[in-house]
């Protein structure tokens, strides 16, 4: 009999090969415990590219998201610092609006869960105001380290709503130097 993993492998690639299914996309009344778990950074966008390009302070790779019992949302990340992989966590405070959080990092930040299907992808929006300067950042995370192009196309559309074009978007697939694939 074939070892079990021979049967498992085609199953896994089948899941990660799934296309975006608009009927499963949620825009409100999120169940945050379903957003919890392991995620991978797929794409990021910003109106300040220095923050997400190499050595940018917001060029971070997500590892997992946890919805804490008190309603706060915790992001665990890693990033490169002087050639080393550094782990960091950020905890966002809940607001009275479902899917909306505040973040105290280099200014006054607002984090919005823009949309998700829980199972394959999630899109977050961050607006940060520091000393009168506003910075916008969008992030596309996947349950797998790669997603089909249809997810990236939808991310581009969302970015456009915030005035961000293709020149503002970076692809993080395969860019993680602290790989855990």
Ligand X SMILES: *[C@@H]1O[C@H](CO)[C@@H](O)[C@H](O)[C@H]1NC(C)=O
Residue whose CB is less far from ligand X, 3 or 132:
132
Residue whose CB is less far from ligand X, 61 or 101:
101
Residue whose CB is less far from ligand X, 37 or 165:
37
80-139: contacts with ligand X (CB under 6 A): 107-108, 129-132
Parallel, antiparallel or unpaired: strands 169-171 and 133-142: unpaired
Minimum Å gap between C-beta 148 and ligand X is 24
Contact (CB, 8 A) for 36 and 66:
yes
Is 12 an interacting residue with respect to ligand X (CB under 6 A)? no
Sign of CA dihedral 147, 53, 167, 27: positive
Place of tokens 């999630």: 122
Minimum Å gap between C-beta 129 and ligand X is 5
Minimum Å gap between C-beta 7 and ligand X is 27
**Would you mind telling me the total number of residues written for the chain in this entry?**
181
Helix (H) or strand (E) segment spanning residue 161: helix 149-161
| Cα–Cα dist 166/171, whole Å | 10
Residue whose CB is less far from ligand X, 56 or 107:
107
Minimum Å gap between C-beta 50 and ligand X is 15
Residue whose CB is less far from ligand X, 131 or 167:
131
| Cα–Cα dist 178/2, whole Å | 33
Minimum Å gap between C-beta 162 and ligand X is 20
Query: Per-residue x/- marks for ligand X, 31-60, CB under 6 A?
Result: x-xx--------------------------
Place of tokens 């005035």: 163
Maximum Cα–Cα distance across the chain: 66
Contacting residues toward ligand X, per CB under 6 A = 31, 33-34, 107-108, 129-132
């Amino acid at each position: 009999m074939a070892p079990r993993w021979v049967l498992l492998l085609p199953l896994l690639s089948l899941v990660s090969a799934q296309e975006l299914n608009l009927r499963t996309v949620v825009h409100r009344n999120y169940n945050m415990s379903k957003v919890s778990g392991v995620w991978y950074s797929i794409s990021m966008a910003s109106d300040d590219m220095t923050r997400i390009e190499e050595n940018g302070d917001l060029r971070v790779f997500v590892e997992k998201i946890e919805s804490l019992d008190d309603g706060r949302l915790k992001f665990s990340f890693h990033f490169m610092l002087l050639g080393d992989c550094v782990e960091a966590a950020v905890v966002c405070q809940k607001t009275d609006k479902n899917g909306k959080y505040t973040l105290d990092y280099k200014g006054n930040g607002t984090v919005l869960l823009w949309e998700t299907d829980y199972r394959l992808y999630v899109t977050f929006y961050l607006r940060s105001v520091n000393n009168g300067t506003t910075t916008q950042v969008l992030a596309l995370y996947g349950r797998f380290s790669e997603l089909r192009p249809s997810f990236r196309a939808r991310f581009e559309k969302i970015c456009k709503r915030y005035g961000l074009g293709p020149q503002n978007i970076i692809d993080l697939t395969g860019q993680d130097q602290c790989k855990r694939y």
